[in-house]
């Protein structure tokens, strides 16, 4: 079956689903009170909120805390609706019910151009219908995942509504008991009060109020907000400072043993014979466990010992033979050449999927007085989370317990059940804090490995920890991508056409094959992540065509902070400066001219430029570069101030402007911009994974460098006021950083750097 035929068939099936669902109401995300586990007199109102006897409130937390502040932002929504101090809202890990699924993340995966829903006219039917349909599918699937900078965006509706229903229940109950008008009652600090002096705590009212079982309520008016929009202190920071915070590697259980592992050095390879005699003779070593592939991991073995140090030392003593994959040994230089040809060869490029087209690009290029063309590239990158991959597992009496820092609790439970051969209902997940996620913990390979090792440990809990070397050489990498960009100008130097052809592996099909193999198939739908940041540019160019050739290079790839935007923004925003030069305009003026139809983008660009004093010449030896990019619903502009120190780039200051919709906590927004700048700067200056004979060459931080504290620039964050619903914050600050730095380096050196990392 040809791909076009399959896509048409899928569209027909989707149409049938829409017709069938037309009369079906959207699945409610309020949830039943029975979803909340009760103790010590607690009363549940719905699937999100319960009230303790002392009047404090406990909310179900469906998302993982990995430094992005979600354990603070989501409780702020509850505290606001219930007029409670933030300190009186606690969290408990949410269960596995579909109401906790991340609907916003899946809806955002639709490949629609952002300006289609931002113009002055009506939103196109395909956008409205596509969003409705994907929202319906997402509600039915109920996939609980922390990713796509979607936690607040997804919670904005259901969590506030759940809290508002509790508020309405408390007010109605107090009014009925006191026989007073509800409008005269006030909620404050855990009490319902009346000007007459009557007062009753939430905990006292809770039982009767919960019996009302309200499913809807009016949300608090924005003019009455007192907490949303304030820089409330992060709830997770005190425990991280005093050491009581529990990450995956902090788990300690009675009788626990430890496991270290080694996987085949060649990506996709297999383990042959193992000689474990020397390792088993070492002090503290208990056993050696062969490992096959779990959730896409590479085969190898694990050593179990009394301590992790003993286990990791014993790993080195095991004599293993390794087998190369049947498909052959991978080489990143050969892959780069293959991708270059996929972009530049007319026959190869014709196989690409067109993500966006406007006007007639072929005719525009024929009529062009000047054409500008450039080839850009970005390498494979590792996640390099501070906390290495780890999981603690215990398999005993037909049940499995796992303690895991995971972004996908459902998938973690599923792989644990599959490996142990039990029903998923027999698997209990204890979710810990994450010492960095960045998309790496959307995978569950390390969970499957830990469960397999635990099955050989006679009921003992075992903690599997990867070494930094294993972490770096067996990641699910950000894919290598290449893009050819071509611009057409008329005789008056006006940009009239823009064509972008990119090539690289698609992430989503690989992730689906690893996590939900039942949904994987021989046909792959176009993956938005390959072309995001290229097909969805806000600039007003009359003739455009953006296409991508999805390749299959054999390297395991996965979601990496800001995904396709992370490299595509470097391609597009660096080329914007190239086009500005060809048009004989400055970088800022050129962008402004192309954004007259996109006022939100223009406002963010202008704010960054003003705060960075763009029109004022920088000190001698310093240059400024600017970049603008939208991702995950947020628009970010950055100005980087750069110099050369001993011939190497040094970024001194980064000014960020962001429009991310309504801001819950401006302090967290600023922290995420700072985090994104450091993360993006590391990738821009140092990040690169090389593969030779199937083996990753970088192994630890000496060969996979990070930006140090001494190299960290000053980061300023300026937030645009907005009436729009909240958008992403955790990832949007990454994409503009590399092009802003590259554009500054061009102004310093006159040399255009078109590949990452940036080497002067």
Q: What is the pLDDT at residue 120?
A: 65
Q: What is the pLDDT at residue 522?
A: 73
Q: Is the pLDDT of residue 300 over 70?
A: yes
Q: What is the pLDDT of residues 1-31, one digit of tens each?
A: 333 333 333 333 333 333 344 444 445 899 9
Residue 216 banded pLDDT, cuts 50, 70, 90: confident
Q: Are residues 338 and 440 in the same domain?
A: no
- Distances 294 to 77, 415, 452, 529, 597 between C-alpha atoms, Å: 38, 8, 9, 25, 49
Cα–Cα distance for residue pair 381/544, rounded to 1 Å? 30
Q: Tell me the sheet residues that pair with 433.
A: 247
Provide the percentage of residues in the chain whose pLDDT is more than 70: 96
728 belongs to a structural domain: yes
Q: Are residues 453 and 482 in the same domain?
A: no
SS3 547: strand
Q: In 108-232, where does DSSP find H-type helix?
A: 125-141, 151-155, 158-178, 202-210
Provide the percentage of residues in the chain whose pLDDT is more than 90: 91
| Mean pLDDT to the nearest integer, 523-551 | 95
- Mean pLDDT across the chain: 94
DSSP-assigned letter for residue 607: H
Q: What is the pLDDT of residues 306-332, one digit of tens each?
A: 999 999 999 999 999 999 998 999 999
- Contact status, residue 660 vs residue 68, Cβ threshold 8 Å: no
SS (H, E, C) 483-517: EEEEEEECCCCCEEEEEEEEEEECHHHHHHHHHCH
Q: Are residues 501 and 590 in the same domain?
A: yes
Residue 345 banded pLDDT, cuts 50, 70, 90: confident
State the DSSP string of 69-128.
Answer: -HHHHHHHHHHHHHT--GGGEEEEE--S-GGGS-HHHHHTTS---GGGGTSSSPPPHHHH
| Mean pLDDT to the nearest integer, 507-525 | 88
- Contact status, residue 259 vs residue 312, Cβ threshold 8 Å: no
SS (H, E, C) 221-261: CHHHCCCCCCCCCCCCHHHHHHCCCCEHHHCCCCCCEEEEE
2 belongs to a structural domain: no
Cα–Cα distance for residue pair 159/52, rounded to 1 Å? 18
User: For residue 620, what are the contacts with CB-CB under 8 A and spacing of at least 6?
Assistant: none
Q: What is the pLDDT at residue 349?
A: 67
Q: Are residues 593 and 514 in the same domain?
A: yes
Q: What is the pLDDT of residues 131-169, one digit of tens each?
A: 999 999 999 999 999 999 999 999 999 999 999 999 999
Q: Are residues 187 and 204 in the same domain?
A: yes
266 belongs to a structural domain: yes
Q: What is the pLDDT at residue 119?
A: 63
How far is Cα of residue 658 from the mean position of the Cα atoms in its chain?
18
Cα–Cα distance for residue pair 50/36, rounded to 1 Å? 7
Q: Look at residues 518, 515, 391 and name the one whose alpha carbon lies nearest to residue 452.
A: 391
Q: Are residues 278 and 425 in the same domain?
A: yes
Q: What range does the domain containing 584 cover?
A: 332-381+477-749
| Mean pLDDT to the nearest integer, 691-697 | 98
Q: What is the pLDDT of residues 663-684, one digit of tens each?
A: 999 999 999 999 999 999 999 9
Q: What is the pLDDT at residue 656?
A: 98
Q: What is the pLDDT at residue 12?
A: 35
Q: Are residues 226 and 345 in the same domain?
A: no
| Mean pLDDT to the nearest integer, 735-755 | 98
Q: What is the CATH number of the domain that holds 720?
A: 3.30.365.10
Residue at which a domain ends, from 217, 242, 267: 242
Cα–Cα distance for residue pair 554/668, rounded to 1 Å? 38
- Contact status, residue 299 vs residue 263, Cβ threshold 8 Å: yes
- Distances 406 to 187, 281, 329, 591, 642 between C-alpha atoms, Å: 37, 35, 31, 40, 37
Q: What is the pLDDT at residue 523?
A: 73
pTM score, whole prediction: 0.95
User: How many separate domains does the chain show?
Assistant: 3
Residue at which a domain ends, from 465, 496, 524: 465
Q: What is the pLDDT of residues 159-192, one digit of tens each?
A: 999 999 999 999 999 999 999 999 999 999 999 9
Q: Are residues 429 and 514 in the same domain?
A: no
Q: How far apart are the first and last CA of the chain?
A: 49
Q: Are residues 346 and 203 in the same domain?
A: no
Q: Is the pLDDT of residue 117 over 80?
A: no
């Amino acid at each position: 079956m040809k791909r076009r035929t399959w896509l048409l068939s899928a569209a027909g099936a989707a149409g049938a689903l829409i017709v069938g669902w037309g009369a079906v109401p959207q699945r409610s995300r309020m949830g039943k009170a029975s979803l909340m586990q009760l103790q010590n007199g607690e009363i549940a109102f719905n699937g999100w909120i319960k009230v303790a006897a002392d009047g404090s409130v406990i909310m179900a937390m469906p998302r993982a805390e990995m430094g992005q502040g979600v354990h603070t932002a989501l409780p702020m929504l509850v505290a606001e609706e219930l007029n409670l101090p933030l300190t009186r809202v606690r969290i408990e890990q949410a269960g596995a019910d579909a109401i906790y699924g991340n609907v916003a993340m899946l809806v955002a995966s639709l490949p629609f151009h952002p300006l289609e829903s931002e113009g002055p006219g009506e939103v196109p039917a395909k956008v409205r219908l596509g969003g409705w349909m994907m929202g319906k599918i997402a509600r039915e699937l109920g996939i609980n995942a922390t990713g796509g900078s979607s936690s607040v965006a997804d919670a904005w509706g259901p969590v506030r509504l759940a809290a508002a229903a509790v508020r309405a229940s408390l007010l109605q109950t107090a009014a009925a008991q006191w026989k007073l008008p509800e409008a005269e009652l006030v909620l404050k600090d855990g009490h319902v009060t009346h000007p007459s002096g009557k007062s009753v705590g939430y905990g006292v009212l809770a039982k009767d109020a919960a019996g009302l079982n309200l499913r809807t309520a009016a949300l608090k008016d924005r003019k009455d907000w007192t907490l949303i929009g304030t820089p409330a202190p992060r709830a997770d920071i005190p425990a991280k400072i005093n050491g009581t915070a529990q990450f995956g590697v902090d788990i300690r259980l009675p009788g626990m043993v430890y496991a270290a592992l080694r996987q085949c050095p060649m990506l996709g390879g297999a383990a042959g014979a193992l000689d474990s005699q020397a390792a088993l003779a070492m002090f503290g070593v208990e056993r050696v466990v062969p490992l096959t592939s779990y959730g896409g991991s590479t085969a190898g073995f694990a050593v179990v010992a009394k301590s992790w140090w003993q286990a990791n030392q014993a790993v080195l003593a095991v004599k293993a033979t390794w087998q190369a994959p049947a498909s052959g040994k991978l080489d990143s230089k050969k892959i780069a050449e293959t991708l270059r040809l996929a972009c530049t060869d007319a026959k190869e490029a014709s196989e690409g999927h067109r993500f966006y087209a406007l006007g007639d690009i072929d005719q525009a290029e024929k009529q062009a007085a000047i054409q500008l063309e450039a080839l850009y590239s970005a390498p494979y990158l590792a996640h390099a989370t501070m906390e290495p991959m780890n999981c603690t597992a215990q398999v005993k009496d037909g049940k499995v317990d796992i303690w895991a820092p995971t972004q996908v609790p459902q998938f973690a439970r599923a792989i644990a059940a599959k490996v142990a051969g039990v029903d998923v209902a027999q698997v209990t997940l204890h979710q810990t804090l994450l010492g960095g996620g960045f998309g790496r913990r959307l995978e569950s390979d390390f969970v499957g490995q830990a469960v397999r090792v635990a099955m050989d440990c006679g009921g003992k809990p075992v903690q599997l920890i990867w070494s930094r070397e294993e972490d770096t050489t067996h990641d699910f990498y950000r894919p290598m991508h290449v893009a050819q960009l071509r611009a057409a100008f008329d005789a008056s130097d006006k940009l009239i056409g823009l064509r972008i052809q990119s090539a690289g592996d698609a992430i989503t099909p690989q992730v689906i094959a690893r996590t939900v193999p039942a949904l994987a198939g021989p046909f792959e739908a176009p993956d938005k992540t390959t072309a995001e940041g290229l097909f969805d540019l806000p600039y007003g160019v009359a003739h455009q065509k953006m296409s991508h050739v999805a390749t299959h290079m054999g390297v395991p790839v996965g979601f990496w902070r800001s995904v396709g935007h992370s490299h595509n923004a470097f391609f597009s925003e660096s080329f914007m400066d190239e086009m500005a030069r060809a048009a004989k305009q400055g970088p800022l003026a050129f962008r402004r001219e192309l954004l007259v139809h996109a006022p939100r983008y223009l406002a963010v660009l202008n704010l960054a430029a003003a705060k960075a004093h763009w029109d004022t010449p920088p000190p001698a030896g310093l240059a400024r570069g600017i970049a603008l990019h939208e991702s995950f619903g947020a628009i970010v502009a950055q100005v980087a101030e750069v110099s050369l120190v001993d011939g190497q780039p040094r970024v001194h200051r980064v000014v960020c402007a962001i429009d991310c919709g309504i801001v819950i906590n401006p302090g967290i927004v600023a922290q995420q911009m700072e985090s994104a700048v450091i993360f993006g700067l590391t990738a821009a200056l140092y990040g690169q994974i090389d593969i030779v004979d199937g083996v990753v060459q970088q192994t630890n931080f000496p060969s996979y460098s990070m930006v140090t504290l001494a190299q960290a620039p000053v980061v300023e964050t300026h937030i645009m006021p907005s009436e729009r619903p909240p958008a992403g914050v955790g990832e949007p600050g990454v994409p503009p950083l590399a092009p802003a730095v590259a554009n500054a380096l061009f102004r310093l050196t006159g040399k255009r750097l078109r590949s990452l990392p940036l080497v002067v």
